[in-house]
Structure 1
Amino acid sequence: MTDAVVTALREIANRDLYQRNAFHITGLSTGVDRRTTRRRQQHVTAVLEAGADLETSGSTDPDELRIAFDRLLGDPRRRLVDEVFGEWGRPNGECGCDVPVHQAHDEAVYAHASAIELLLAPPGQQQYLAMWRRAGERWTTAMEDPQFWQHLRNRVLALDDWQLAASAIDQIRSELSAALTGPLLDLATTSEYPARVAKVLEDWPVGGEATQRWVLDAMRPQYERAEDATVALLRRLQQGHHEVDPVISELDRSVLPVYRRLQVMLPSEQHQRTLTLRDDIALVYHNSAVGIANEGSVHDKRITHLLDQADGYAGTPVMKAKIAENRVTAQYLARNTSRGARAAQQPEADPAGCGCAVLILIAIAVLIYVLVKVLS
């Protein structure tokens, strides 16, 4: 079972890493004791219930404050996690740290919080790359200092709670790099500007070799969403050419935005799963064109446009070749056949939606290949 420390680290590893920090919200110092925390909670509750103005450097939102105080007073393991990302300030003598230890930590926190804010802002300011580099370097410096970890060990002793064991420090050590990378992974899946996130990840020094694995894990739901939607669209096309326009609209709405994000974060030139998705998208366009030719008219102008789209998305030579073959045949039929002749020489879409569509007029060897694919 995952320990509460690890769970807490994974829960907060997103763009709100610092904004939702319990110490940031309550305005309390990371070294505050339970008695002072309880008194502050009672004061805040009374002021808010009276409708008076709350003088604080933190939040004035009642729900945010309630959650933050519950976090600080409820479970010391979750509190310790928030201390890692809160402001340590000058040592008060209780933790035994030298001033530079706290200073290095707080500089890392400020730089990282500022870097997240810059990456959330609209494009136009390029210093976000320098700020992320600085944040990564500051956190790396802080984590490499043995006194950083000694501070946390001393905090475990100071909190003196049976739920908080010394092993919590080892768990924080093993998860901290992933937690610091979490805001980037969150933005990789949700930001309007994924290319900026990709640039930061290229030289983000904290994760090392594990960063690519974290990116793959973060993008897995994106893959699944796009792949499932594409399969569903290919099945819809089997219902007839009347489904083409709604299918293409749905492709534009639900699949292509996800694909573009994946192409930025995990380019098809380097990742087979993205390349396969490219071909699946091309197949939707291609089978749409074939569906119109089969049941509509080979003179329909949409056919050329859809084949152009298919060719633009096709990522493998095999897919591009099949699209080219069907384009040549469609052009031939449009020029040289009557309606009656066309009915006997129509292109055939891939009925399984998992291989390349072919034409009845293409070589018998290709037909056998397609039949094997369909039957398998």
Structure 2
Amino acid sequence: MDKTTAGDHRGEPSAARIGPGNLARFTDLAGTRLYRDNAFAVTGLPTTAQGRAVRQHRQKLEARLAVESVRPADPDSPVAGGYRKDEVRAAFEEFQDPRRRLVDELLWRWGAPQGCGCPESVHEEHDEAVRFHAMALEAETGRGHATTDGRDILWRGAASGWGLLLERPEFRRHIAHRIEELDDPRLREHSADDFLAALPGLLVSPFRELAADPDFRPRLAGVCADWTEHTAFSGLFTELFEDAVEETVQQITDGLRAVNDKKEAHHFRDAVRVVRKEVLPAFDRFGDFRAHVAEWRRDDVAHTVAVGVGNLAVAMLGYYQFHRPTAAEKKTVVELAERAYEIAPERHVKAFKDNWDVIYEWSVGAVTTRTAPGQPQSMSGGDRVSCVLFVVGLVGVMVLWVAQGWEAALAGFFGVFMLIGIVVKLREWYERIRIHRVRGRHW
């Protein structure tokens, strides 16, 4: 006997597993009309109504709809607007199959416990989750009224309410009680776990339709992130965001390719512009999908971006070893190296930190340590050697002047400056070798 499971990656039960006579109601309700098409919302019946009560209510409504075209929604219903005759008649048909009816029960207000043995808090939490979720969907589809902030609050309430409720064993026991209470052979073929397995996918099914709304799309990742915090909904959004993720990664790839081409041509200003205007904004958008992307994929994209940005910084540094940079150009190189370090995944971060340190030292005159903000920069070891040589040489020149005359003093003066020049040149060679080693090791 086939039984409904959690569904496919879209959060909707698979049609291959659910067909007529099974739990097809999960498929029928999927989408933004999840609550609006609920049989209890349409008919106005309480979820405990059975048999004779259902028949009497149907007769009453049919008589009313014979003279009225629309049945008004209940004043305290989270669903706005009324229902046409055909919608009401179709809703009553759902009561003919207890499997379909039970799905609708799970998605409508239960009220106070009546013989199910549930703590009152379970029913309260369930009804609150239904209210938040239904009102959020009504607002997003234009049938309700709420500000953007108000809708976000409703979404968070729905995610938290349903997420916590699905983890409570009392919720499963309530479903098991209702299966026994409805007492139908068709329901005995299923367990409470069958309904529990399919319910999370049904609850998130509206997001596929909402993702097509250009007004909602910028908020989609943030709203869905609240749902993925709960175990019941983890993994249900992967396919929903797959296209958006791939599109963003492609934008990052194209941007980095352009950066590399401009870098190789030494068009550094254009390369920096592409990094700032295309690559980094696309990477920030990729971060919005963080909750819906596997960790290995996040690290892979982050490392790719860090390498591309870091490569540009190192290339500019190599170029400026032979071309005097402006203060703004130095600042740009440092900012690129710093951004690469910030983006890099944890397992690669030391390599990018080392490059940032080298580039920072170059930008301030090859100091060996970075000082705290607001503190005076310390003199490097090479600067101290040059100062000592100058002082010693000056003393030596004065001694030669007194002892051997101005000719010897002049020769000594030139000798001291040659020695200092050699020290400075050795320092430059050292820095170039050091930078090349870091670049070769990491890129």
Q: TM-score range by the shorter chain?
A: 0.5 to 0.7
2:179 alignment partner, one of 156, 159, 179: 156
Distance 1:203 1:55, change over 3 A: closer
Cross-structure match for 1:33: 50
SS in 2 for 1:156: helix
Cross-structure match for 1:70: 93
Shift of 1:60: 4.1
1:115 alignment partner, one of 111, 114, 136: 136
- Give the distance between the partners of 1:112 and 1:200, measured in 2 at CA: 12
1:311-348, CA deviations, whole angstroms, 9 ceiling, x for partnerless residues?
Answer: xx966738x97xxxxxxxxxxxxxxxxxxxxxxxxxxx
- 1:61-210 superposed matches below 5 A: 61-73=84-96, 75-93=97-115, 95-121=116-142, 125-165=148-188, 167-190=190-213, 192-204=215-227, 205-206=229-230, 208-210=233-235
- Give the distance between the partners of 1:186 and 1:152, measured in 2 at CA: 29
- Give the distance between the partners of 1:8 and 1:214, measured in 2 at CA: 22
1:274-304, CA deviations, whole angstroms, 9 ceiling, x for partnerless residues?
Answer: x3xx79xxxxxxxxxxxxxxxxxxxxxxxxx
Write the letter of the residue equivalent to 1:195: P
Cross-structure match for 2:238: 213
Distance 1:55 1:96, change over 3 A: same
- Give the distance between the partners of 1:47 and 1:147, measured in 2 at CA: 39
Cross-structure match for 1:20: 37
Q: Normalized against structure 1, the TM-score is what?
A: 0.55
Shift of 1:123: 9.2
Write the letter of the residue equivalent to 1:84: L
Cross-structure match for 1:2: 17
Write the letter of the residue equivalent to 1:82: D
SS in 1 for 2:172: helix
- Give the distance between the partners of 1:52 and 1:11, measured in 2 at CA: 25
Write the letter of the residue equivalent to 1:117: E
1:317 alignment partner, one of 254, 257, 264: 257
- Does the alignment pair 1:266 with 2:213? no
1:178-202, CA deviations, whole angstroms, 9 ceiling, x for partnerless residues?
Answer: 1111112221134543112222113
SS in 1 for 2:131: helix
1:34-74, CA deviations, whole angstroms, 9 ceiling, x for partnerless residues?
Answer: 2211121122112222449867628441011011101122x
Distance 1:56 1:163, change over 3 A: same
| Matched-pair contact (CA < 8 Å) for 2:23–2:99 | no
Shift of 1:269: 3.4
- 1:225-374 superposed matches below 5 A: 262=243, 265-266=244-245, 268-270=247-249, 275=250, 317=257
- Give the distance between the partners of 1:45 and 1:214, measured in 2 at CA: 43
| Matched-pair contact (CA < 8 Å) for 1:108–1:138 | yes
Distance 1:267 1:52, change over 3 A: closer
- Give the distance between the partners of 2:123 and 2:30, measured in 1 at CA: 22
Shift of 1:77: 0.7
Which has more radius of gyration? 2
- Give the distance between the partners of 1:316 and 1:63, measured in 2 at CA: 57
- Give the distance between the partners of 1:18 and 1:160, measured in 2 at CA: 25
Identity %: 31
| Matched-pair contact (CA < 8 Å) for 1:185–1:214 | no
Any gaps of 5 or more consecutive residues in structure 2? 1-15, 262-443
Q: Normalized against structure 2, the TM-score is what?
A: 0.47
